[in-house]
Structure 1
Amino acid sequence: MTESSIQRPVVARFCPSPTGNPHVGMARTALFSWAFARHNGGRFVFRIEDTDASRDTEESYDLLVDVMRWLGLDWDEGPDVGGPNGPYRQSERLDVYADVAQRLLDAGLAYQAYDTAEELEERREKARAEGRPSGYDGLHRDLTPEQRAAFEAEGREPVIRFKMPAKDWTFTDLVRGDITFGAENVQDFVIVRANGHPLYTLTNPADDALMGVTHVLRGEDLLSSTPRQIALYEAFAEIGVGDGTTPEFGHFPYVTGAGNRKLSKRDPESNLLGYRDQGFLPEGLLNYLALLGWSIADDRDVFTLDEMVEAFEIGRVNPNPARFDLQKCEAINGSHVRLLSPGEIRDRLVPYFRAAGLVGESLTSDQESLLDAAVPLVHERMSLLTEAVDMLRFLFVSDDEFAIDESDRAKQLDDAGLDVARAAHEALEALGEWTTEAIEGALRAALIEGLGLKPRVAFGPVRVAVTGSRISPPLFESLELLGRETSLRRLAAVS
């Protein structure tokens, strides 16, 4: 089905579990679902699936909300926003799931099963040995009241299993086309644990039904759960949960890393917060994540979120795994850095300068002026915002805090380099006007014409002496911004 055939108002959702740090695969799923909703003029629901008390944490919940805000993927219903179908944290909806489970039991669409773990494993092993599917065999589907009473007298506490209709399940995946699961591979499954806690198998489709979700867009790892969920939607229609319709499904391909393995939460390149800390722009990172399975055009890699929303069609998502390439991600981010104005870059840089201890909570007027003047010098030279911090650090530290990279000192400030630094100090000390043009003229006259050096040999020692690194903004402009006194002190200190 294509977007043009959608008849009812679109409601898409993103429903992560707050376990550990958010990862890039999660962000891509959120992005595609959000873009689909926005492209079709629909609603986007942000829901937190936090019913697993052993793994879910409040810290992870806060991180999820924070990172969604940072990415700029706004939501119409969910935490901080509210909405008509709240609450939007599953831990606050347990009474809802208890009611749905009881209605399924009352309608004969689910049943209590008293099997012990040992009994289940013994029967599974027997099925495997005989070449049969090893899912639940339905032994407790039709227990009599007397049998249930006998099990309860033994102290057994039942789980609740959903009765899967005995039929094959076919649906049209919006990404992968028609998919069929045979009845033998989709047996009865648990929806409520023996302790009364609902499982994902119940909570996820129940919330989708009650929140009016029309399109379930998610990762490929959840594809096998789809026939169970379709069966539940049909059951919900019988018992009056939701509006009686079944959502459409689309499953996105895996994101892979080194060795074409599925990218896991433990892989360094998977850590979403790490990209923020490294100085990626959210729009740059999202642009790259969109390319992992989708493209705006065959000959175009860089685009804005607005342009993506306008062009996004779910049927154009490639079902094949997409490999995460950090170098390309950085290149895409660099393109977005260069799309920003110097003023926008300055504003984006301030938190990173603050985190590095180079400025306080509020910039002084001198710091603001210095940053305004320095940003154009590094705008075209960086792919990540943190690179600007490293390149401009020398302008914001005192003499006591200034340090020269020891590797660069060894390469540039040997005996010959120290001679260059002394000659540079002598030439600059005699300058009457401290401007970029005057500085350049004095250094070229003293080092290139006077000492007969090539520019790379002439200016490398000066650069390291005053900036602390071989990598810095243009030298003459850097000296002007650093100022006469500080520049001469740093040259004198090494020479």
Structure 2
Amino acid sequence: MRGKSMSVNDGKRYSTRVRFAPSPTGKLHLGSARTALFNWLVARGAGGSMVLRLEDTDRERSSVEFERDIMDSMRWMGLDWDEGPDVGGPHGPYRQSERIDIYNEFVQRLLAGGKAYKCWCSGDDLEERKRVAIQDKKAWRYDRKCAALTSSERATLEADGVPFTIRFRVPEGKVVVEDSLRGSVEVDTSEIDDFIIVRSDGTAGFHLAVVVDDITMEITNVIRGDDHLTNAARHVLLFEALGAEPPTFLHHSLLFGPDGTKLSKRHGATSISDYREQGYLPEALVNYLALLSWSPGAGDEREIFTLEQLAGEFSTESVSASKAIFDIDKLNWIDRQHMKTRGDRELVDLVTPFLLQTGREELAALPRDKLEIALAAVRNAMEKLTDALEPMDLFVRPAGLLSEKAVAQLGKYEELAEALDICVEALGRDTFVDRHTATKIVESLRSVAKERGWSAKKILMPFRIAVTGLTVGPDLPYLIMFWGCARCADRIEANRQAFERVTQELREEGEK
């Protein structure tokens, strides 16, 4: 589906209107975010409207905190909406808890038309009748006991103030759900109970609220997970009972972990805010979620897309019904590809908040040009923003501090003093060094090693350790660019002295 108008609901013609309707009972889950993305892509690709509504009828579990997380996470992903609880719109309110009067109006229409009825059966009574049916090896369906009550019996129950629910009277026959991904799904209504549409506390049940919302908000396309496919038959019945044409349905697959089970916390992080906190780029996560069930077409091997490109190319005809397996390695690869499109300045802006969050104020306070060099030095090993943090620590590591591995490695070089002297001589005393000059210095060290019949490592490894105090780290030119020749030489001398002091202590310890 891409951009066409269609007849929906009361027979009027509307442009494409989709909705994302999360329950604010938890943080925005990856699976829900993917649903939001698919809806947004359809709306934006068709020049239509995106509606955000909150299904907050679970009063105990819903919270403002989760509402905020949902909206903040969507905005972080780059997804906006044309109507919603925060921006308003002509079809509000956009919280189900604020739409009780609207639901009551539609319920009265169903009651007046004999398409719904009050049910005074208590939970205990229903459980007992279910138990008996199972004991007699019969399938349990609500037996319409209250639908068969006389007017006198109903009047007595109402006069006594007995709590009641309201049930939808499921008609006999078959109901067909037209799904653009799965085709026609036919269900015999004998398999469907007279389901509750109003709870005993007077609040609308899920099925009624969803359908009334879709009708009054003029939704043309319902795109959601296939766990709602069984609900769709009930929804079609309600649309028809209310004289409205059902929207176009698409029930996409859910997200699964590598073990083939539904994605959950036991597979790792599951909320958008989790991945945001781990340092993933929003465009990379959006890119990856789009590729779970969608591809640009046969023969098109592209995997890297911007949100704008996705909006222009996404089509529901290219959505697959097969299982969508969440693969963290694939996400990391995609994040790395998007990372490559960011300049050093951009990455510094993105990494700095993580530096501050993790107590790396000294790093964050470095001059901007130094911070960009430090970031450039480690970026090739980054799959996400937080991967920069530990590697960047070496740029504020004090001179004279050697790791155990560094001490052990330096102890292997018989010509260590000569090698370090060569390094200091090659550096000179310049304070500012560009990439070209730094690279020439490293190449000169390689040449000197070759002249002496040494391997390059025999000079370059002592250089690295004597500058950083560590055995691993960024390419050497970045170290020279960051500290400059003079400071590198000073650090070499400080670490040389530290090494001599440590080896002396070890020697004395061994003689005891």
> Taking structure 2 as the reference length, what is the TM-score of the superposition?
0.84
Matching residue of 2:442: 440
Distance 1:248 1:133, change over 3 A: farther
Contact 1:18–1:49 (CA<8 Å) still a contact in 2? yes
* Structure 1 range deviating more: 427-436 or 168-177: 427-436
| Deviation (angstroms), 1:390 | 2.7
Matching residue of 1:38: 44
SS in 1 for 2:239: helix
Code of the residue aligned with 1:183 in structure 2: it is: T
5 Å-filtered alignment, 1:455-470, equals 455=457, 459-460=460-461, 462-463=463-464, 466-467=467-468
5 Å-filtered alignment, 1:27-426, equals 27-129=33-135, 132-152=138-158, 156-237=162-243, 244-265=244-265, 267-297=267-297, 298-359=300-361, 367-395=367-395, 397=396, 399=398, 409-414=403-408, 416-417=410-411, 425-426=420-421
Contact 1:424–1:443 (CA<8 Å) still a contact in 2? no
Partner Cα distance (1:72, 1:360) in 2: 32
* Structure 1 range deviating more: 134-143 or 73-82: 134-143
Contact 2:4–2:15 (CA<8 Å) still a contact in 1? no
Distance 1:178 1:490, change over 3 A: farther
Distance 1:445 1:3, change over 3 A: closer
Contact 1:424–1:446 (CA<8 Å) still a contact in 2? no
| Deviation (angstroms), 1:52 | 0.6
| Deviation (angstroms), 1:102 | 3.2
Partner Cα distance (2:496, 2:85) in 1: 56
* Structure 1 range deviating more: 247-256 or 422-431: 422-431
Contact 2:3–2:48 (CA<8 Å) still a contact in 1? no
Partner Cα distance (1:429, 1:33) in 2: 62
| Deviation (angstroms), 1:384 | 0.9
Superimposed CA distance per residue, residues 368-396 of structure 1 (whole angstroms, 9 cap, x where no aligned partner)? 2222334443443322111123322322x
Contact 1:79–1:88 (CA<8 Å) still a contact in 2? yes
Superimposed CA distance per residue, residues 147-177 of structure 1 (whole angstroms, 9 cap, x where no aligned partner)? 2244356663001111122221112211111
SS in 1 for 2:367: helix
Contact 1:448–1:458 (CA<8 Å) still a contact in 2? no
SS in 2 for 1:414: helix
Code of the residue aligned with 2:477 in structure 1: it is: F
* Structure 1 range deviating more: 442-451 or 155-164: 442-451
> Taking structure 1 as the reference length, what is the TM-score of the superposition?
0.87
Distance 1:448 1:278, change over 3 A: farther
SS in 2 for 1:141: helix
SS in 1 for 2:84: coil
Code of the residue aligned with 2:208 in structure 1: it is: L
* Structure 1 range deviating more: 203-212 or 335-344: 335-344
Contact 2:20–2:39 (CA<8 Å) still a contact in 1? yes
| Deviation (angstroms), 1:72 | 0.4
| Deviation (angstroms), 1:278 | 1.6
Distance 1:283 1:153, change over 3 A: same
Contact 2:4–2:16 (CA<8 Å) still a contact in 1? no
Partner Cα distance (1:158, 1:66) in 2: 39
Partner Cα distance (1:77, 1:418) in 2: 69
Matching residue of 1:240: none
Identity of aligned residues (%): 36
Matching residue of 1:241: none
Contact 2:406–2:470 (CA<8 Å) still a contact in 1? no
SS in 2 for 1:60: helix
Contact 2:3–2:47 (CA<8 Å) still a contact in 1? no
Contact 1:423–1:446 (CA<8 Å) still a contact in 2? no
| Deviation (angstroms), 1:319 | 0.7
Contact 2:288–2:331 (CA<8 Å) still a contact in 1? yes
Code of the residue aligned with 2:481 in structure 1: it is: E
Name the count of aligned residue pairs. Answer: 479
* Structure 1 range deviating more: 415-424 or 58-67: 415-424
Contact 1:164–1:186 (CA<8 Å) still a contact in 2? yes
Distance 1:153 1:353, change over 3 A: same
Matching residue of 1:473: 474
Superimposed CA distance per residue, residues 189-242 of structure 1 (whole angstroms, 9 cap, x where no aligned partner)? 1112111122222222211111111111001111111011111112333xxxxx
| Deviation (angstroms), 1:423 | 5.8
Distance 1:123 1:289, change over 3 A: same
* Structure 1 range deviating more: 338-347 or 128-137: 128-137
Partner Cα distance (2:450, 2:356) in 1: 39
Code of the residue aligned with 1:260 in structure 2: it is: G
Distance 1:177 1:376, change over 3 A: same
Superimposed CA distance per residue, residues 390-441 of structure 1 (whole angstroms, 9 cap, x where no aligned partner)? 322322x3639x987xxxx444431645758766654444432444146425
